[in-house]
């Protein structure tokens, strides 16, 4: 089962969102970014979070994922012409070892 969470960002403001991940429930998040700015992703929980481009890669037996360790913040430059992270698709997150919170800050130039 995959939980879909749309993330619509206005052209004239940023957004800060918190996602509650339940243990071993894959969650799809749209990280598309309509303007230039920064994307900050923080694992605010106490367990690791898996992130990947396919829901099967981040489940409990998946093998192709990137780990966001507890307490770590990643920062990405984002925009219409440089959406290298996931501009045209969703990313899938999972916390196979327990419930967790992921904070996402879409900070744009306006």
Give every residue of the chain whose pLDDT is below 50, as ranges.
1, 9-11
**pTM reported for the whole predicted model:** 0.79
**pLDDT digits 0-9 by tens, 18-41:** 999 999 999 998 877 667 888 899
- The 10 Å Cβ neighbour count of residue 109 is 9
Host domain of residue 15:
2-108
> CATH number for the domain including 38?
2.60.120.10
pLDDT reported for residue 80: 67
- In the chain, the number of structural domains is 1
């Amino acid at each position: 089962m995959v939980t879909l969470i749309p993330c619509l960002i206005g052209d004239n403001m940023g957004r800060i969102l918190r996602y509650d991940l339940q243990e071993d429930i894959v969650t799809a998040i749209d990280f598309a970014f309509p303007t230039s700015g920064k994307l900050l992703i923080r694992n605010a929980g106490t367990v690791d979070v898996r992130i990947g481009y396919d829901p099967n890669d981040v489940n409990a037996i998946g093998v192709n994922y990137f780990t966001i360790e507890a307490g770590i913040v990643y920062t990405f430059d984002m925009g219409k012409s440089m959406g290298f992270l996931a501009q045209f698709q969703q990313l899938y997150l999972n916390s196979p070892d327990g419930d967790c919170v992921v904070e996402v800050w879409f900070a744009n130039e306006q």
